[in-house]
Structure 1
Amino acid sequence: MLAEIIKNRRAIYPDAYSNEPVLKTEIEQILEAANWAPTHKRTEPWRFKVFHTETSRTALSSFLGEAYVKSVENPSDFKQKKMGQKALQSGCVIAICMQRDPDEKIPEWEEVAAVAMAVQNMWLTAHDLKIGAYWSSPALLKYLGDHVSLAEGERCLGFLYMGKFHGELPEGTRKSSINEKTVWL
């Protein structure tokens, strides 16, 4: 049931992923779910760069480590290694990008919201496929265009790290009930 999938979805971090590969067919199913997100004026602003092969994830790992070193005054070896490690621990990393409507017919926040809804579709589908996922938005995103080609007006909003996960999911919690966040008029 969809309500149960929504309620049970969790962020699963790369250090918890198994070495079991995420299949290309599973990634395609996850991406197809993204494509059905709501979008104002049908701009469909979501774009994805998929790092699925070991070679592409290793290259992404190296790039992120190098970008970290270039972006800070006093880089630490530990932090440099950590920046790249997530890509190596994952079965797939997807760069979540947004292609801004060149005519700017609608506000940018609506385009960002549409991309976020696409990612929610991806995350729920991954959960249903027993694939752990985690959306990360490090400051290094602004350098992604140095590693992969981005179209004019396209920018990266984060990385969706994914991997097979066989552990127990933690119990879900919320700080307050929906009743505390709702005003009925």
Structure 2
Amino acid sequence: MIKDIIRNRRAVFPAQYNEDTISKEEISTILETANWAPNHRRTEPWRFKVFHGISQAALGKFMAETYKSTTDKFSERSYQKMIENPTKAGCVIAICMQRDPKESVPEWEEIAATAIAVQNMWLTASEMKIGSYWSSPGVKEHLGDFINLEDGERCLGFFYMGKYDGELPEGTRKSPIEEKTEWI
């Protein structure tokens, strides 16, 4: 039931991933569900750049070196995580948003539609027992220095995916929905 998939979805980080590979077919299945996200005026603003295989190491090196050259608060730990995490993952997908050139809808709606596309991916990956999480490091703003981005396209973050062993912890919320809802 979709309600159970939603409730059981968790952020699963590269440190939790095992060595099992994610096939191109599995990645394609996950991406296909992104394409069914609702969006205003059918702008379909989501764009994805898939790093799978040897390109993951290049992404890690780019992110780490970009971090090193752009931060005022360098941390060796953060630098190492940026190098290592992409190669610990079975796949890393850059989450990009292509702004409608006509600006027929507000930009926030295109960002929201892209986020919904990622939620579709996350739920599908979860159902397939593939762990994932959305990371938004500051270096995302520099992705266009590494790969081609179209005019009006920007990176909103990175979607890490990997297979994992064992069970995930039960989810919690700080407060029930009733405390966040006002009936009028």
- TM-score where L is the length of structure 1: 0.97
Query: CA, structure 1 residues 71+29, in 2 after alignment: closer, same or farther (shift >3 Å)?
Result: same
Other-structure match for 1:33: 33
Other-structure match for 2:132: 133
String of CA shifts for 1:72-124, please: whole Å, max 9, x gaps: 24634332111221101100000000000011111000000000000000000
Structure 2 CA distance, aligned partners of 1:161 and 1:74?
A: 24
Other-structure match for 1:105: 104
User: Structure 1 residues 88-97 or 69-78, which shifts more?
Assistant: 69-78
Whether 1:152 aligns to 2:135 is no
1:1-150 matches, cutoff 5 A? 1-53=1-53, 55-73=54-72, 75-150=74-149
| 1:39 aligned partner, one-letter code | N
- Tell me the SS of whatever aligns to 2:183: coil
Structure 2 CA distance, aligned partners of 1:108 and 1:143?
A: 20
- TM-score where L is the length of structure 2: 0.97
| 1:68 aligned partner, one-letter code | Y
Alpha-carbon shift at residue 65 of structure 1 (Å)? 0.9
Alpha-carbon shift at residue 135 of structure 1 (Å)? 0.3
Structure 1 CA distance, aligned partners of 2:129 and 2:168?
A: 11
Structure 2 CA distance, aligned partners of 1:72 and 1:148?
A: 21
Structure 1 CA distance, aligned partners of 2:182 and 2:99?
A: 34
Structure 2 unaligned blocks of 5 or more:
none
The sequence identity of aligned pairs, in percent, is: 59
| 1:37 aligned partner, one-letter code | A
